[in-house]
Structure formats: structure tokens, C-alpha cells
Structure 1
Amino acid sequence: MQALRIRAIAFRERSMWCAQCLEHDIAVQADDLAGLSVALRQALVDQIEISRDLGGEPFAALPPAPARYFAMYEAAEPPNADARAADPVGAIGAGEAFLVAPELRLVA
């Protein structure tokens, strides 16, 4: 099984929570952090399934996120053990071929 590393930064923009993946330009929004985790998980699964249906490699056609999101990620504190345990995104299995385990950091 191929494991894919995908880092994401979560931040508030006005009244919405946003998550931006770094390695691949995928972004989602939600009203709260729980909804954000669900939306991020679904966006990643959808991307894998669409790529598989088209006969391509998941995420291959997506460029990296803009540089400002990499800077936000590096400036954010890594989650502590309690935050990781409470994070509902977790690893995403996509059939037998791929495993995605998003590394989500939160901008305070």
C-alpha cells in the first residue's frame, strides 16, 4: 500500500474554518472544526476516487498550494497528543492502493 503524506493548515477566515492542503492545492471550508475535518476527509477521498475513475494517479494533476500556506503551516504549533487523539480526520484508506494520513495544524 502506498502511503501519501498530505499536510494541511486550518485557520479561521471571517466566520468560517478553512483547511488548505500543502502538497496538493485542495481547500475546504466549514462552520466548525468537526465539520472541517469531515469536509477535508471527503475532499481527499473524492480526489482519490475521481483519479481512479479516470485512470490517473491520485493528486498528480494538482499543483502545490501557494507558498503563504507553507509559511502558515511552519509557524503553527504541531498538535499535542490530546489534539491528535481528538482529531477525527485520521487515516483515510482508499481501497488497497493508497493510505492518506493528513497532518493538520491549527493556526491559533
Structure 2
Amino acid sequence: MAGIGNAWSDEILHRAKLTPFVAANKVDTIQVGALYQAVQEVLAEVREALANVPLERIKATKKSLFSVHDRAGQVCPVCGATVAEVSYVDRSMQYCPSCQTGGKKLSDRRMDRLLK
């Protein structure tokens, strides 16, 4: 979604338990509801958490709110699995294979090319 940003989109998809690669035309009604609820919850929590934070503390406070974003290799706070990452040319996304992809680790094309 435009305007959400990479960090919060990682968090929203994690909360909604949706794979980052789900095609918009393949999302069912239940998933749309979960996505809508996750957008509302995550952005409300962020707004509340950052409301009175001094400018010099915003970055650290924001990072403390992440469950999966920027946490590749660390433990998912929801299920205990290892947070994974898919990298692109100029960005990356983090997700929990257990919570979001049924335990399947998504292909990282940049690393796949190096391993061939």
C-alpha cells in the first residue's frame, strides 16, 4: 500500500498473518478483513507510542515497536520462529515463515543467484 512504508507494511502483514507475496487478486474476504484490522491496529499503536516522544528518541522508540521489520535472524515474538528476509535491489522485507507462510521460507533471488 502506498504511503504505509516498508517497515509498517512488514508489521501489518505479520499482524494479519499474510505472506508478503500474496497477489491482491488472490486475497479472500477473511484475509481482507484481517489486513484491514491489522492496518488499523498497527497504525493506532504506532501513533499512540510516538505521540509524546521527544524528537531525538523517535527512531529508537520506533525500532522497539517492530516484531519482524529489521529483525532478520532474530526470534519472532509471536511464535518463536526465526524471522527471515527477502532482499531486492534497494530494499528488503522481513517476515516470519511460521506466522505468515506456513513455515515456508521465501526465495531470496539475490542470494539464489550467488549460490548457483
Give your verdict on TM over 0.5: no
- Decide which structure has greater helix share: 2
**Structure (1 or 2) with the larger CA radius of gyration:** 2
TM-score normalised by L of structure 1: 0.34
- Decide which structure has greater strand share: 1
Larger relative CO (CA 8 A, sep 6+): 1 or 2?
1
TM-score normalised by L of structure 2: 0.32
